[in-house]
Chains A and B, each alone.
Chain A
Amino acid sequence: DTGVSQNPRHKITKRGQNVTFRCDPISEHNRLYWYRQTLGQGPEFLTYFQNEAQLEKSRLLSDRFSAERPKGSFSTLEIQRTEQGDSAMYLCASSQGPSSPLHFGNGTRLTVT
């Protein structure tokens, strides 16, 4: 069990640029979640997958955000035309099933200048 892996650890980008993050979950976990966390707040739900199917996307999420999990293994989160308000820690987590505990990765810290 190598845990949940996220890349990159840090990303600094200029406003208007596109960024893509990758998450490799624990291999036998079929659920994969993306959360966003800002300082002093709890993780905010973005989207989640059951295998390759995206089950739900937060209504707070703009169309600039898209996520994929093409083969039911790793996942990518893309943010198009980044804005300063997108600056946050993006956390990926995986679990064995619907009510199973989440295993988080170390996150990708995005800074938009």
Chain B
Amino acid sequence: GQQVMQIPQYQHVQEGEDFTTYCNSSTTLSNIQWYKQRPGGHPVFLIQLVKSGEVKKQKRLTFQFGEAKKNSSLHITATQTTDVGTYFCAGGDAGGTSYGKLTFGQGTILTVHP
């Protein structure tokens, strides 16, 4: 079955530093989605990428989808304490009856020191 791996597992940064998390799938994806989960909360949707090589920006966040649609990254510029949380990628299954089913990575826990 489809597997989605995410690295690093943890990232500690000083406020103002940049942060990147990487996501790799064992199979080609129909799309990739990114979610943020605050401590004690549930995952909240951030963005969806569909096209090969797609890049999207949301203020200080930049999301990329690889040319082969098997990997993705999230980059945060100049982190703030409000960025604290766990960031998950979720890959959409590209085939058959499982089309669209999302498989989540294990997440990257981001802590930001003021």
Which A24-81 residues have a C-beta within 8 angstroms of B? Answer: 31, 33, 35, 40-45, 48, 55-56, 59
B105 within 8 A of A: yes
**Given A43-B43, A56-B97, A107-B42: A101 in contact with B33 (beta carbons within 8 A):** yes
Give the complex CA separation of A98 and B78 in angstroms.
Answer: 34
Distance in angstroms from A24 CB to nearest chain B CB is 15
Give the complex CA separation of A42 and B31 in angstroms.
Answer: 18
A43 proximity list for chain B (CB < 8 A):
43, 88, 104
Distance in angstroms from B78 CB to nearest chain A CB is 26
B102 within 8 A of A: yes
B103 within 8 A of A: yes
In terms of DSSP, what is the predominant structure of the interface of chain A?
loop
A97 within 8 A of B: yes
A55 proximity list for chain B (CB < 8 A):
97-98, 101
Distance in angstroms from A26 CB to nearest chain B CB is 13
**Given A99-B92, A102-B43, A103-B45: A56 in contact with B98 (beta carbons within 8 A):** yes
A48 proximity list for chain B (CB < 8 A):
101
Q: Which residue of B is nearest A106, CB measured?
A: B42
Over the window 85-105 of chain B, the binary record of Cβ atoms lying under 8 Å from chain A Cβ atoms (1 yes, 0 no) is: 000101010000111111111
Distance in angstroms from A69 CB to nearest chain B CB is 16
Give the complex CA separation of A100 and B101 in angstroms.
Answer: 10
Over the window 34-45 of chain B, the binary record of Cβ atoms lying under 8 Å from chain A Cβ atoms (1 yes, 0 no) is: 010000011111
Distance in angstroms from B19 CB to nearest chain A CB is 18
Q: Which residue of B is nearest A6, CB measured?
A: B42
Give the A-binding residues of B (Cβ under 8 A): 1, 6, 30-31, 33, 35, 41-45, 48, 50, 88, 90, 92, 97-107, 109
Can you list 19 pairs linking A and B with CB atoms under 8 Å apart?
A35-B104, A40-B107, A40-B109, A42-B107, A43-B43, A43-B104, A45-B101, A45-B102, A45-B104, A48-B101, A55-B97, A91-B42, A97-B100, A99-B92, A101-B45, A101-B48, A102-B102, A106-B42, A107-B42
